[in-house]
Structure 1
Amino acid sequence: MLARCPFPLPAARRRLPPSRFPCPIHSYRLNTISTLPLPSLASCSWPPSSLSSSRAFTAIASTAAAMASVAALVFVLFSFAGGVVFCNQTYIVYMDPTLRPAVHPTHHAWYAAHLQSLAIDPGRHLLYAYSDVLHGFAAALLPHHIPVLSSSPAILHIQPDPVLHLHTTRTPQFLGLASDAASALPRPIDAVEAASRDVFIAVLDTGVWPEAPSFSVPAGLPEVPSRWRGACEAGVDFSPSLCNRKLVGARSFARGFRAAAAAAGDGNVKGKPKEYQSARDRDGHGTHTASTAAGSAVANASLLGYAAGTARGMATAARVAAYKVCWASSCFGSDILAGIEAAIVDGADVLSLSLGGRSAPYFHDIIAIGAFAAADRGIFVACSAGNSGPGPATLANGAPWIATVGAGTLDRDFPAYARLGNGAKYTGVSLYSGKGMRKKLIPAVYGAGSTNASKLCLEGTLNPAQVRGKLVLCDRGVSARVEKGAVVKAAGGAGMILANTASNGEELVADSHLLPAMAVGKKEGDLIRLYITTDAKPRGVLAFGGTVLGVRPSPVVAAFSSRGPNPVSPEILKPDFIGPGVNILAGWSGEVGPTGLPKDRRRTQFNIMSGTSMSCPHISGVAALLKGAHPDWSPAAIKSALMTTAYYVDNTRSPLLDAAGGSFATPFAYGAGHVDPEKALSPGLIYDIATDDYVSFLCSLNYTIPHIKAIAKRNVTCLPKLSNPGNLNYPSFSVVFEKNLRAVKYRREVTNVGPASSYEVKVTGPDDVVVTVRPTRLVFERVHQKLKYSVTFVSKKERGKSRDEAFGRITWASKQHKVQSPVAYTWKKYTWKK
C-alpha cells in the first residue's frame, strides 16, 4: 500500500517540471551489520482512491546506494493526466528567535504563522515545533514553498528531512568492569558502580522490549531521583506499568516517518512487518543497545548456548530510557531531533545514538545539531562511527562535540571448522545451534546456478537440482549473511560456507544461521574456491566448536568499522576511540528471531550482533560510570579521560591489528585507542572544551553566520575565531599539511584533575616531521589548575615521496599518570617553493 500525500495538491500546482521541483530524501542506515540493508522509498498515492485507478504513477528512485548502506537520493514523481505531480515532503526549518514579532506570543504561534502565509493548515502540516534542540520546526511542504519561506529574514536555513537508517556477557570482563570469580580484591571501578544509579542514559533507537530480563530492577536500586522528568508513554502493547526503577522512560516519535513513508497512516511500509505504534521494539536493535549500555546483571544468559554466562550492561546501576525514533529501519531526522529534545528536557545525562549516515557539513548534520544542544546542556553524546570501513574517510558523526566510536573485537570467539575432501582443514566462526552435520563428507558446490550471481547465493539464483543435499560455498556481499543461508536452505542445501572477499578481508562475524553454516576469511575462502572449482569431486563437512575465551590477539579493529580522516573537518582526528563491537551478546526483542528474518521462528532473550551500533552503547555506559564518579566533569572532560587513557596495543603487547588485511591499524581506524574504563577514572589531566570554543571552531570552518546560528542557537560574530580548526582544545591532533604549507602550530590547555604533579613531554613520530613542544615540562601545584602548551609541526618531507599520511604520539608523563594523545599527519598535494 502506498502512503497518501498528507494534503491535496492545489490544482494549479499538480503539473510541475521535474527539473525545477525535485523531492530529495536523503537515506542513511542504522550502524549494525547484522541485517540486510533494504531501500526505503517514500511515495505518495495520487490520484486519491476515489478517482480512476487506471491512472498510473511512476516512482523514480536510486536504490543501489541504499543497498550499499550509504546515502541515497530519492526523487518521487507521479504522472497524472499527462503531467507530473509532486508529493510534499518534510523539511526542517531553522529560525532566528530574536526576530520573532511581538504579535506572536509564542514561538509555536510564530511558526504556525509562517505556514499560514503559504495558505496551508499548520494543524495538518506542522509536525514538530522545537525549542531546546534548535529554534525552528519540521513541516510537510511542497518544494515550491521553500523559496517563499527562505525569503523571510527570520529563516536561517531549510533542509529536507534526512532519513537515517540503523549503523554482553564477555564485554564487562574484557573492559575490566566485572571482577573474575577468582578475585575478591576491591578495585576503583567497583566503587563508582553504585554512584551511577543517579545517572540517566537516553538511548535513541528502535525502542525497547520492556519484558527483557536485562531491564529487571537490580537488588538495592533505590527510587528514581526526583530530578528525572521523563515518562513511559502508553501505546499499542505498551503500558506505562512496564517501566520500573531501571527502565525509567519510554517514548516514541514517528511524525516524520509517517509523513514521508507510512502506509495509509498506520505506521507501516510496504514489505516490512507491522510496527508497534508505541515505544515497544519490534526490531531488537534498540533493546540490544539499551541493555548493552545499562542492562541489569542476568545469570545464565546465552544465545542458544553460545556466550553463556552472566550478561550485564556497562553501568548496571544506571537508569535507562528508550526513545523510539526509528521505524521499519528508517530514522527520520525530524523524529531524531524530537527525541533528542525530549531527552534533554527529561533530564538525560548521556545520549546514545547507534545510527548515522553519510557525512555532511555540520549545519546539514541532524545528529551534530542535536548533539550540540545536548552538549551545551552538559550531556555526553556517543554515536557510532558507521560500518562503511575499511575505506578511508568513511566515518559519520564526526563533530568534535560527539564521542565517535569505532568497533573492535573481543577475546571471545565461536569457532567452526571445515574439512575438505583433499584433507585440508579450515577454521571460521559460527553461531549455528541446530542439529550438526555428520562426519561423513558430502558433495560441495560453488556457483550452483545459471549466472555469476549464484556465487553470492542471492535469492532465486541457486538451482535446487545442483544444490540439494550439498555443502554450498557462497561469497559474502550484496545480501545479508543470514539471508544467504536461508536461500541455501530453501534450495535444499545441507550446509554453507560463507567466504569473505577482498572488501571484508579476514574479518569474521558469527551468525545464528538457520542451517549448518560457517564464515571464513578471504585467504581461506580463496583456497576453498580453488578446491571446489578444480577438483573433480569436491566434498566437505562442517563441525562447530562452541564458545572459546582468551583469543589472541585481541582487540583487533573490525574491518567494517568506518575510518578517518574526518571528511568534514580533517583537523579533528576521528574516530575518538574504539570499543567492543563484534559478536556482542545483549538483550533482544521477543518479536523476532536472532537472524531477524521472517522465516526465523526461534525466540531468544539475548542475541549476538556486530557493528559500531554495538560499540557505541559500551561507551555510553562507561560514560555513565565516569559521570557518576565525577558529576562535575563536562562531556568534553569525560571524553578526554577516555581518550588519553586508551590503549593501542593488544593482549600480545603488539600494536593493534586491522582485521581488513591483518596489518597494523592506525589512529584513522582506532582514534586514541581502545577504551580502558578503570584508567579513565583517574586520567591525571583533561582537555576541557566549552560551548563557546565549539562556536569558535565552527567559525574557523568558514561557515556562514546563519548556518552557525542554526547550530549554536545564539548570536554569533566570529570575532575572534580560531586561526585553524585544529586549534580546538582537543585531546588528539590531526595535522594537515596543505599545499605549500610546511609548518602547523597548535595550542592546547590541560586541567589537572589529580594530585600536585610534574609532567614531562615525550614525542614519538615519523622522521619527516619535526615536533617542538613548548614548554616541555608542566608543573601543577593544585587540582583544577590549568596550564597551556604549544606544539609546532614542521614537515621535512621531500618532494616526490609517495606517503601521504603518518602517525605519532605526544605523551605527558608524571610519576602516576600517562596522558597520551595520538597525532595524525596528512600531506595534501603540494608544490613547495624553493
Structure 2
Amino acid sequence: MNIVLLSNFTGVLVFDYPLSHVEAPGVVISSKDALEVINYAISDDKPVASIKFKQTILGSKAASIVSLTSSRGPSPSYPGVLKPDVMAPGSHVLSAWIPSLNKLDTTGPRTVFYNDFNLLSGTSVACAHASGMAALLKGVHPEWSPAAIRSAMITTANPLDNTFNPIRDYGNNLQFAFPLAIGAGQIDSNRALDPGLIYDATPQDYVNLLCSTNFTKKQILAIINTNKYDCPRAYYDLNYPSFIALYHDHAKWMDQKYTRTLTNVGESVVTYKAMVTAPNFSEVVVSPNVLVFMKKHERKSYNLTIKYKGNMERRVSSGSLVWVEDNGKHTVRSPIVVSPLVFA
C-alpha cells in the first residue's frame, strides 16, 4: 500500500502527528500540486512514481525552524520572566542509541531493525543539546554560576536562520517567530564560550523574586528546600538577560523600568555601546547607553525603560537590546517582548 496525502498543513510531517506513525510508503503534496498529479494519473495508461528512501539532504533552507510541538511562552507560573530562553535542535535528531532497544523501523509485524543510531524528536533531544552545551561551558569556565552559563547561552544565541532571515515558526504559518517561541534564538556553543559580558544572579536574587509573588513562606521553602535564605525584600526584577513587559488588554500606555547588571568576562579594558530595536508601538530607553569596563570581572549597571504607547490590535511585538563592543569582537543580545496580559 502506498499513501498520497493532500495537505497544505506542514504539521503532518512533524513528530507526534498521525502521519509519522504510518508504516507504509507515502508522500504529502500540497493542494496546489494535487491537480497536476491527479491529471497525470488519469491521463497516463501506466502512471509511474518513485520514492527514495534513507536519503540525507544537506543544506536545507530555511533552517532552523521552530517545531509545531515546541512549547510557547509566557510562563504560566511567572510570566514576568521571558520564556523560553533559547531553542535547540529537537526534530528528527540522529544520534547514538542503545543497540539492545528496538528502533522504530520495521518491515512487518515481526521484523524489527536494531541499530546503534536512531532518529528522535522532542525535549528529550533538545534538552540534551542544551544540557551538553551547559556542561561544556562549565568545563571551560568552572567559576561560572548557573545564571552566568544561562546568560552566555542566551546572549550569544542566533535569531536568524541559514538564509540570514529571522527564524520562522511552523506553529504560526511559517511567519517570523517571536521570542515567545524561540527565546533569544538557536544556541551557539562556540560563541557562548566567549560571550564578553554576562548577567549573573545569586540564589538570594531568586529568593527575592519568589518573595515578590503570591507564594506563601511554606511554598517558598518547598521550592528552595533550605532555611538559609529569607525575604529581606521582595524584588520582581531579576537580573535576567531578557525583558518582557505585560500590559492589560485595554491599556493605552505603560511604562516599565528594569535594572540590569553586566559583568565583564572579556578583555580587561573595553567599551560597549547599546543598540536598541524597539518593539512596535513602543519606545525603549537605555541609560547609560555606553558602558566602560576598566578590568575583568568589573560590574556595571544600567536601566532600561519600555514605554508602550498602545496597540489597537493587542498583538505581541518584539525587539532587542544589543551591547556592541567598540572593536566589534563581542555582541551581547537580549530579546525584548511587549505582550498583552491575556497571553499569559
Length-normalised TM-score, structure 2: 0.85
1:541 aligned residue (32, 49, 53): 49
Compute the displacement of 1:513 (Å).
6.9
CA distance in 2, matches of 1:616, 1:525: 36
Contact 1:737 1:743 in 2 (8 A): no
Q: For the residues of structure 1 that align with 2:156 and 2:197, how far apart are their CA atoms?
A: 10
Task: Give distance in 2, aligned partners of 1:576 and 1:536.
Answer: 52
Match of 1:728 in 2: 238
Q: Does 1:781 align with 2:294?
A: yes
Q: Is the 8 A contact 2:283 2:307 kept in 1?
A: yes
Residue matched to 1:517: 26
Q: 2: CA distance between counterparts of 1:785 and 1:700?
A: 28
- Matching residue within 60, 72, 96 for 1:563: 72
- 1:578 aligns with 87
Question: Could you tell me how far 1:659 is from its partner in structure 2?
Answer: 2.6
Q: Which amino acid aligns with 1:782?
A: K
Q: Equivalent residue for 2:211? A: 699
1:536 shift after superposition: 6.7
8 Å contact kept, 1:738–1:827: yes
Alignment correspondent of 1:295:
none
Match in the other structure for 1:688: 200
Counterpart of 1:644 (choices 130, 150, 155) is 155
Distance 1:579-1:500 versus aligned 2 partners, 3 A rule? farther
Distance 1:674 1:606 in 2: 24
C-alpha distance after superposition, 1:701-742 (max 9, x if no partner): 2211110011112336533111x3xx1111111111236561
Instruction: List gaps (5 residues or longer) in structure 1.
Output: 1-492, 830-834
Q: Which runs of structure 1 show a deviation greater than 6 angstroms over 4 or more consecutive aligned residues?
A: 508-513, 529-533, 535-540
Residue 719 of structure 1 corresponds to: 232
> Which residue identity is paired with 2:162?
N
Distance 1:530 1:779, change over 3 A: same
Q: 1:537 to 1:639 in 2, by over 3 A?
A: same
Query: What CA distance in whole angstroms lies between the structure 2 residues aligned with 1:747 and 1:529?
Result: 59
Name the CA shift for 1:655/1:680 in 2 (closer, same or farther; >3 Å).
same
What SS does the aligned partner of 1:548 have? coil
1:309 matched residue in structure 2: none
- Superposition deviation, residue 515 in structure 1: 3.7
Q: Would you say the 8 A contact 1:555–1:650 is kept in 2? A: yes
Describe how 1:219-618 pairs up with structure 2 within 5 A.
493=1, 495-497=2-4, 502=9, 504=11, 514-518=23-27, 520=28, 524=30, 528=34, 541-544=49-52, 546-595=55-104, 599-618=110-129
Whole-angstrom CA distance in 2 between matches of 1:507 and 1:765:
33
Cα separation, partners in 2 of 1:502 and 1:812, compared to 1, 3 Å: same
- Counterpart position of 2:315: 804
- The 8 Å contact of residues 280 and 317 in structure 2, kept in 1 or not, is answered as no
> Counterpart of 1:565 in structure 2: which amino acid?
P
C-alpha contact 1:593 1:600 (8 A) present in aligned 2: no
Over 3 Å counting, the alpha-carbon distance change for 1:706 and 1:734 in structure 2 is same
Q: Distance in 2 between matches of 1:729 and 1:762?
A: 19
* 1:418 corresponds to: none
Percent identical among aligned pairs is 37
Q: Deviations over 1:458-506 (max 9, x none)?
A: xxxxxxxxxxxxxxxxxxxxxxxxxxxxxxxxxxx2x234566748277
Distance 1:670 1:764 in 2: 17
CA gap 1:658/1:711 in 2 versus in 1, 3 angstroms: same
> Could you list the per-position Cα deviations for residues 10-57 of structure 1 after superposition, in whole angstroms to 9, with x for gaps in the alignment?
xxxxxxxxxxxxxxxxxxxxxxxxxxxxxxxxxxxxxxxxxxxxxxxx
Write the letter of the residue equivalent to 1:680.
A
Mapped to 2, the partners of 1:822 and 1:627 lie a distance apart of 24
* Cα distance between partner residues in 1 of 2:217 and 2:143: 32
Distance 1:667 1:505 in 2: 24
For residues 82-231 of structure 1, what are the structure 2 equivalents within 5 Å? none
Give the equivalent residue in structure 2 for 1:742: 254
Aligned length: 327
Residues 536 and 550 of structure 1: CA distance in aligned 2, closer, same or farther (over 3 Å): closer
* Equivalence map 1:611-630=2 (5 Å): 611-630=122-141
Output one character per residue of 1:77-109: Cα deviation in whole Å (capped at 9) or x when no partner. xxxxxxxxxxxxxxxxxxxxxxxxxxxxxxxxx
2:332 is matched with: 819
Q: Is the alpha carbon distance of 1:569 and 1:599 closer, same or farther for their aligned partners in structure 2, counting shifts above 3 Å?
A: farther
1:592–1:601: 8 Å Cα contact kept in structure 2? Answer: no
Gaps of 5+ in 2: none
TM superposition shift of 1:780: 0.6
Structure 1 or 2, whichever has the larger Rg, is 1
In the TM superposition, what is the alpha-carbon distance from 1:827 to its structure 2 partner? 2.3
CA gap of 1:679–1:529, structure 2 versus 1, over 3 A, is same
Written as runs of structure 1 = structure 2, the 5 A alignment for 1:662-681 is: 662-681=174-193
**Is contact 1:511–1:595 with CA below 8 Å preserved after alignment?**
no
- Give the whole-Å Cα distance in 1 for the aligned partners of 2:43 and 2:15: 28
Q: CA deviation at 1:542?
A: 3.4
Q: 1:498 to 1:770 in 2, by over 3 A?
A: same
CA shift at 1:590, angstroms? 2.9
Greater relative contact order, per chain length (Cα 8 Å cut-off, separation 6+): 2
1:686 Cα deviation (Å)?
0.3
Q: Is 1:654 paired with 2:186?
A: no
Pairwise CA RMSD of aligned residues? 2.9
Report the Cα distance in structure 2 between the residues aligned to 1:564 and 1:500, rounded to whole angstroms: 28
